[in-house]
């Protein structure tokens, strides 16, 4: 017990030296915490842009639809199967869609667009179409549709304007009709924001002459980490006429992009940890050099090397814990600030992100595990570096140590 009391008194006997050591450890935490949080936040945002705003974590199709995405490869949704999928604990939302392509025309302007028919569940709970409205309303029935902001700018159309859609309907029929623009939506994915129009599922089925037909059943999970496990459960419920695909299978290029970036960031993080370790180590080396005569005197007065080592490791643990806690308290506000006001990139980098369909922002993640992991990592690095004083004391000769 005396070791804890004496160690606490020792670290505050020279306040300036202790503050320097604490500052080094806290600075390490302040650097590593936002860096790690930024890494996780960037990847979560990339996945959220695609998964949360359009594709979902998992999609169910009629077998062969993904190779040939036509209305003829759609299917009639099974209410009994939908009920079973809802019972899977990892599934948060499930929604039926009808997706196809049509030409949108007004006057002399004609553009190609993705037509997405959504049900009421998706309107409020899945992609939250209503939350993305910047003008107008979403009509649950009638000939009203939502234009993405980029598409509305291309068409030079606003709320209450009229557009004409022309496309190929179910089984080769001609689909053509006039619609009122009931609202404008802004999507986080630049690719979708420039060429998507949304209408009620029943209206899309009526337009394409595909009554009761859906092309996709999309699922949103509570946690992205449950992806493969949940996909396996859903495949066990399906028959041979359907296919279950995860977003990683649907968009392998994006998965590869994230994996490549993850490896690069891990290397950067490893270099950062090395710098953190050397920073703490250099501070401890200077401290041991300053206290060399003090330690020699304690050995000369009869203190055993083992007790002196226990005293020093206790001092180091106190210092590392205080420094880690201080760094956590100082770094957390920065993480939450960057989460609310993320860094926005521009120039060629922004164009590259837009090409992949990502919003060009760098938010941080506020997941509690990141705070815990980073504090633990700094504590482990600090503890490992603190083993240096044990080696110095083991080799120390009292008579030489006391010499100035």
Read off the pLDDT of residues 328-373 as tens digits, 9 standing for 90 and up: 888 889 889 888 888 887 777 777 666 655 677 888 888 888 888 8
Q: Is residue 248 part of a domain?
A: no
- Fill in the DSSP letter of residue 52: I
Do 184 and 73 fall into the same domain? Answer: yes
Same domain assignment for residues 42 and 75: no
Contact status, residue 103 vs residue 165, Cβ threshold 8 Å: yes
Per DSSP, the three-state class of 18 is helix
My answer on whether 342 and 196 are in the same domain is no
Is the pTM value of this prediction over 0.85? no
Q: Please state the rounded mean pLDDT for residues 202-227.
A: 88
Closest CA to 397 of 273, 260, 318, 297: 297
Rounded Cα–Cα distance for residues 258 and 266 (Å): 12
Does a structural domain hold residue 109?
yes
The verdict on 261 and 360 lying in the same domain is yes
- Do 260 and 226 share a structural domain? no
The domain in which residue 380 lies consists of: 2-51+255-401
| 358 within a domain of the structure (yes/no) | yes
Say whether both 293 and 396 belong to one domain. Answer: yes
Specify whether 228 is located in the same domain as 275.
Answer: no
Quick one: 156 and 39 in the same domain?
no
Both 166 and 259 in one domain: the answer is no
Total structural domains within the chain = 2
Among 206, 239, 272, residue at a domain's last position: 239
CA–CA separation, 269 and 262 (whole Å):
10
List pLDDT tens digits, range 26-65.
887 788 788 888 888 887 777 777 776 677 889 999 988 8
Q: Please name which of 257, 253, 113, 304 lies closest in space to residue 193, comparing C-alpha atoms.
A: 113
What pLDDT digit, counting tens, does each position of 279-304 carry?
Answer: 777 777 777 777 778 777 877 878 78
Does 123 score more than 70 pLDDT? no
- Do 144 and 193 lie in one domain? The reply is yes
The arithmetic mean of pLDDT across residues 295-323, rounded, is 81
**Average pLDDT score over residue span 201-208:** 90
CA distance 198 to 144: 9
In this structure, are 23 and 138 located in the same domain? no
């Amino acid at each position: 017990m005396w070791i804890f009391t004496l160690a606490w008194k020792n670290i505050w006997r020279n306040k300036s030296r202790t503050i320097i050591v604490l500052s080094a450890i806290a600075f390490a935490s302040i650097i590593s915490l936002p860096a790690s949080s930024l890494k996780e936040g960037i990847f979560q945002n990339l996945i959220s842009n695609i998964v949360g705003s359009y594709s979902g974590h998992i999609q169910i199709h009629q077998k062969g639809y993904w190779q040939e995405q036509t209305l003829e490869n759609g299917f009639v949704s099974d209410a009994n199967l939908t009920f079973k999928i809802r019972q899977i604990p990892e599934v948060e939302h499930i929604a039926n869609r009808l997706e196809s392509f049509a030409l949108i025309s007004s006057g002399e302007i004609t553009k190609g667009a993705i037509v997405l028919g959504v049900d009421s569940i998706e309107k409020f709970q899945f992609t939250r179409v209503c939350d993305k409205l910047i003008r107008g309303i979403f009509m649950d029935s009638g000939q009203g549709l939502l234009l993405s902001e980029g598409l509305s700018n291309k068409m030079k159309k606003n709320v209450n304007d009229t557009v004409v859609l022309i496309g190929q309907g179910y089984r080769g029929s001609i689909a053509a009709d006039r619609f009122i623009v009931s609202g404008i939506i802004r999507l986080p994915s630049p690719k979708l924001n420039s060429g998507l129009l949304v209408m009620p599922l029943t209206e899309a089925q009526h337009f394409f002459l595909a009554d009761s037909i859906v092309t996709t059943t999309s699922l949103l999970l509570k946690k992205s980490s449950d992806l493969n496990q949940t996909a396996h459960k859903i495949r066990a419920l399906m028959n041979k006429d359907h296919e279950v695909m995860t977003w990683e299978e649907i968009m392998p290029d994006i998965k590869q992009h994230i994996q490549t970036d993850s490896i690069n960031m891990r290397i950067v993080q490893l270099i950062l940890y090395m710098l953190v370790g050397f920073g703490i180590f250099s501070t401890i080396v200077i401290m041991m050099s300053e206290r060399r005569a003090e330690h020699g005197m304690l050995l000369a007065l009869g203190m055993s090397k083992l007790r002196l080592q226990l005293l020093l490791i206790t001092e180091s643990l106190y210092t590392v814990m205080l420094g880690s806690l201080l760094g956590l308290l100082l770094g957390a506000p920065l993480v939450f600030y960057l989460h609310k006001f993320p860094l926005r990139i521009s120039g060629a980098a922004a164009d590259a992100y837009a090409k992949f369909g990502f919003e060009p922002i760098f938010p941080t993640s506020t997941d509690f595990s990141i705070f815990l992991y980073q504090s633990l990592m700094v504590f482990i690095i600090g503890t490992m570096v603190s083993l240096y004083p044990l080696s110095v004391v083991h080799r120390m000769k009292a008579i030489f140590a006391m010499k100035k």
